[in-house]
Amino acid sequence: MLTDWHPRLWWGRPTHDDYDVKVRVPDGHQLGATGLPDTKAGGRYRAEKVRSFGLYLAKGVRTLETSSAGVSIRALFWPDGEKCAELVLSTAANAVDFYWQRFGFYPFTSLTIIPGEYDEPYGGYPVATGLIAIHGMTKVASVPKLHWQWITAHEIGHQYWGDWVLEKESPGWLWIGLGIYADREYVLARGLGLDKHRALVHEYLWGVKRYYDTTMSLTLEQYARVNFDCNNVVVHGKGFATISALAWVMGRDAFDRSYQRCLREFAGRPLGPVEFQRICEEEAGQDLDWFFSQWVRSNRYLYYRVGAVRRTSTGAVYRTEVQVERLGTLRMPVPVEARFQDGSRQEATTDRLRDVDTITFTSASPLVDVMLDPRRDLAMVDWVLNEEEGRLVRRLEAMAWMPEAAEVTELLGAAKAVGLRHADLWFKLGMGLYHAGLNEEALEAFAWPLPGEVPWVAAGDPGFRSENRMRILLCVWQGHVLDVLARRAEALEAYRAALSLSASIGGFRIRQDHYRLVIDPDWIQTRLETPFSRSLINQS
Amino acid sequence: MCCAPEGSSFPLDPPHALYQIDCVVSPDLKELQGTVAISLRNTSTLTLRRLVLNSSSAGCVPRDATVSGNPVALAAAQSVSALSIPSTPDPRFLYLVDLAEPLTPGGTVEVRLAFSTRLDGDR
């Protein structure tokens, strides 16, 4: 796979250029490239107005071809990836047609899909203009069909944002966010569900709860100091969350006009947040600096909740007053939906300038419930952040997995005092205490009551599985330590709770390599018969 | 019309170029060798006195450069990487090409180069 392979003029920023490339490759090798192949001259490709010209060379790959909306589409695949290639090719044709109709054009004449270098379905990336890689195509059945459909539509979306309209700043959250907005349009139109998009937002919300600084406009020096997964949390997660919130604030029509203007006016030119804000303000006819300053240039987070609800009625007229309270640091309007017994619904919007706003609904039927952000356009945190917890999170993240007894004991005290809310950090604490031989304290960490009796993420949410995996681990290790403490009946209870949680997410498997330990349902089942002891695991 | 100061100046709207590349991948897949002809019409309002070439990576070595048929020296912009700026090329891979005649707006130039690119395992 070749992207930066030839000398090129540099203008201080990316540009669009034209290419006429002839490549001779050794016999038996197949070539994938940006641009349309010249059918009369093998190995020759032409492409106009492309950001970069990529080459892909492999031996033993096969090819499937189709076309859609005048775009020639090819999928190169390893022989055992044919099913996946068929799926991504048909999705690509469908997505190109959708985008063509939605945006009025497709920017390039060809699209080639190649197998990514990872053999697991980790996603994909735009290799070069008209050339996208998708990882793990030989493992089509290992993830839901939605994964392949979404990643294909997602990477094609970047042909508009990243290859047609160029990114101006780093980290490049804007082209990512606008690209993801495109593929959200696709999955909504095709009824594929929003699981992937909620997973992206979940990454951002997780980062907020982890007290990471998610400010998107950074100086070079600030960017160099970032020491967390900025790509997932900020660039993808917050990038998309910001665009989603902006689209709601502006309204669909005004946002669409901005989107289309950027596609037209920034073809082959870099688009940055400043230009984007200007266009959005012009199309919305309103100042949006309050939005950009908070979402883009600050670390503020959004958290509103429904407070007091007052119901009165006069004859057949019902009046409901709903208080909406700001608990987060970011101020913006939020949609409030009231649902009534007769099945009717009403929606209103809060005023961003009020920390507590009262919305009044008048209806012909009593209220059933009230919810904020019913379409989930807004990335809303459900915790009030606490700086003391934030400092503790930093320390626990930095703590070694096998710490000194004094350090981990002190951190346990701090975690209890602050009411630490992160399951994985309680687990890390518990493992540190277990390593230090502090069994009673380790049990306290593994059994610490976490927010909500059931996982605090809803069953349909992307975080559900990862949060549950951690809770399973906590249960298993409660069992381990209880066995070590010769409290067998309680240990059995913990193992059974772990098995029950495991069944609820369709099983799990976690390796703890420093103990040469694999925890899965088989391991737990065995513990129901044979108690755990320290001698069962080898510490490397 | 305005003139760029001495040194490397970039127009606000850089001109598009046409890259005509003819290359071959070695039988052992370790190297790609070829030539590139870069045709450029200065569509900007800036007079260009110098072009900057980006060899893109340590594995790509340009040589035998000519500008409109006349041989020119390729001088690396910097010998060490001073600052890592995301999505900006490493200065070690930038080569400065001084134009014998300034390229005024509307003017054309053709830069020809030979190059070889090492195909590492991670490519």
CA nearest to A52 within chain B: B19
Q: What is the pLDDT of residue A453?
A: 42
CB atoms within 10 A of CB A137: 28
The answer to which of A3-12, A50-59, A305-314 has the lowest mean pLDDT is: A3-12
Beta strands in A230-330 (DSSP E): 270-271, 304-314, 317-326
Q: What is the pLDDT of residue B6?
A: 54
Beta strands in A391-509 (DSSP E): none
- Nearest residue to A522 via CA among A513, A530, A533: A530
Structure tokens, A203: 């990454």
Round to the nearest angstrom and report the end-to-end CA distance of chain B: 43
Q: A23 to chain B: which residues are within 8 Å by CB?
A: 21, 23-25
Tell me the per-residue pLDDT of A181-193, one tens digit each, with 9 for 90 and over.
999 999 999 998 8
Q: Is the separation of the CB atoms in A66 and A82 below 8 Å?
A: no
More confident residue, A144 or A89: A89
Q: Spelled out in words, what is the top-level CATH class assigned to the domain B2-118?
A: mainly beta
pLDDT at A36 over 60: yes
CB atoms within 10 A of CB A222: 11
Across the interface, whether the CB atoms of B60 and A18 are under 8 A apart is answered: no
Label residue B15 by pLDDT band (50, 70, 90).
very high
Q: What is the pLDDT of residue A464?
A: 52
Q: B111 to chain A: which residues are within 8 Å by CB?
A: 9
Structure tokens, A364: 């012909």
Q: What is the pLDDT of residue B121?
A: 52
Structure tokens, A68: 């859609």
Using CB atoms within 10 Å of the CB of residue A186, give its burial: 0 to 12 exposed, 13 to 18 middle, 19+ buried. buried
Rounded to an integer, the average pLDDT of A38-45 is 81
Quickly count helices (H) and strands (E) in chain A.
17, 21
Residue with tokens 């004859």: A315
CA–CA dist A537, A532 (Å, integer): 9
The answer to which of A164-168, A287-291, A409-413 has the lowest mean pLDDT is: A164-168
Label residue A142 by pLDDT band (50, 70, 90).
confident
Q: Between the CA atoms of A289, A291, A297 and A303, what dihedral angle is there, to the nearest 10 degrees?
A: 150
Kindly report the CA angle at B103 between B102 and B105, in degrees rounded to 5?
130
CA–CA dist B19, B25 (Å, integer): 18
Rounded to an integer, the average pLDDT of A164-190 is 92
Label residue A359 by pLDDT band (50, 70, 90).
very high
CA–CA dist A472, A205 (Å, integer): 22
Nearest to B113 among A7, A14, A17 (CB): A7
State ipTM.
0.90
Q: A171 to chain B: which residues are within 8 Å by CB?
A: 86
Structure tokens, A295: 């979402």
Contacts of A247 (CB under 8 A, 6+ apart): A181, A255, A377
> Residue-wise over A459-470: b if at least 16 C-beta within 10 A, else e?
eebbbbbbbbbb
Rounded to an integer, the average pLDDT of A345-363 is 97
pLDDT at B4 over 50: no
Q: How far is CA A177 from the centre of its chain?
A: 11
More confident residue, B110 or A40: B110
pLDDT at A456 over 50: no
Q: Best interface-test mutation with A: which of B9, B10, B19 has the largest number of A CBs within 10 A?
A: B19
Label residue B87 by pLDDT band (50, 70, 90).
low
- Angle between helices A145-160 and A195-209 in degrees, nearest 10: 80
Across the interface, whether the CB atoms of B17 and A9 are under 8 A apart is answered: yes
CB atoms within 10 A of CB A515: 16
Q: What is the pLDDT of residue A3?
A: 80
CA nearest to A24 within chain B: B24
pLDDT at B2 over 50: no
Quick one: DSSP state of residue A161? Answer: B
Quick one: DSSP state of residue A231? Answer: I
Tell me the per-residue pLDDT of A120-132, one tens digit each, with 9 for 90 and over.
888 899 999 999 9
More confident residue, A436 or B89: A436
Kindly report the CA angle at A253 between A248 and A254, in degrees rounded to 5?
75
DSSP-derived 3-state class of residue A459: coil
DSSP-derived 3-state class of residue A403: coil
Q: What is the pLDDT of residue A499?
A: 93
Q: What is the pLDDT of residue A437?
A: 94
Q: Is the separation of the CB atoms in A211 and A393 below 8 Å?
A: yes
Structure pTM? Answer: 0.89
Q: Between the CA atoms of A278, A283, A287 and A291, what dihedral angle is there, to the nearest 10 degrees?
A: -80
Structure tokens, A234: 């900020």
Residue with tokens 């960017």: A223
The percent of residues in chain A predicted with pLDDT above 70, rounded, is: 97
Rounded to an integer, the average pLDDT of B60-76 is 89
Whether B60 contacts chain A with CB within 8 A: yes
Helical (H) or strand (E) element with A390: helix A387-398
Nearest to B21 among A1, A22, A167 (CB): A22
Contacts of A249 (CB under 8 A, 6+ apart): A288, A291, A332, A333
CB atoms within 10 A of CB A178: 25
pLDDT at A65 over 50: yes
Mean pLDDT of all residues belonging to chain A: 92
Q: Between the CA atoms of A161, A164, A168 and A172, what dihedral angle is there, to the nearest 10 degrees?
A: 30
DSSP letter string over B76-121? Answer: ES-SS-----TTS--GGGEEEEEEEEEE-TT-EEEEEEEEEEE--T
Label residue A221 by pLDDT band (50, 70, 90).
confident
Tell me the per-residue pLDDT of A230-254, one tens digit each, with 9 for 90 and over.
999 999 999 999 999 999 999 999 9
Residue with tokens 């495109």: A182
CA–CA dist A464, A451 (Å, integer): 14
Mean pLDDT of all residues belonging to chain B: 82
pLDDT at B77 over 80: no
Q: What is the pLDDT of residue A502?
A: 85
Note which residues in 54-83 of chain A have CB less than 8 A from chain B: 57
Q: Is the separation of the CB atoms in B102 and B109 below 8 Å?
A: no
Whether B24 contacts chain A with CB within 8 A: yes
Q: What is the pLDDT of residue B89?
A: 67
Domain residue spans in chain B? 2-118
Q: Is the separation of the CB atoms in A336 and A348 below 8 Å?
A: yes
Q: What is the pLDDT of residue A106?
A: 96
The answer to which of A14-18, A396-400, A492-496, B96-100 has the lowest mean pLDDT is: B96-100
pLDDT at B80 over 90: no
CA–CA dist A406, A412 (Å, integer): 10
pLDDT at B3 over 60: no
Across the interface, whether the CB atoms of A6 and B117 are under 8 A apart is answered: yes
> Residue-wise over A143-156: b if at least 16 C-beta within 10 A, else e?
eeeebbbbbbbbbb
CA nearest to A267 within chain B: B13
pLDDT at A194 over 70: yes
**Polymer length of chain A:** 540
Contacts of A398 (CB under 8 A, 6+ apart): none
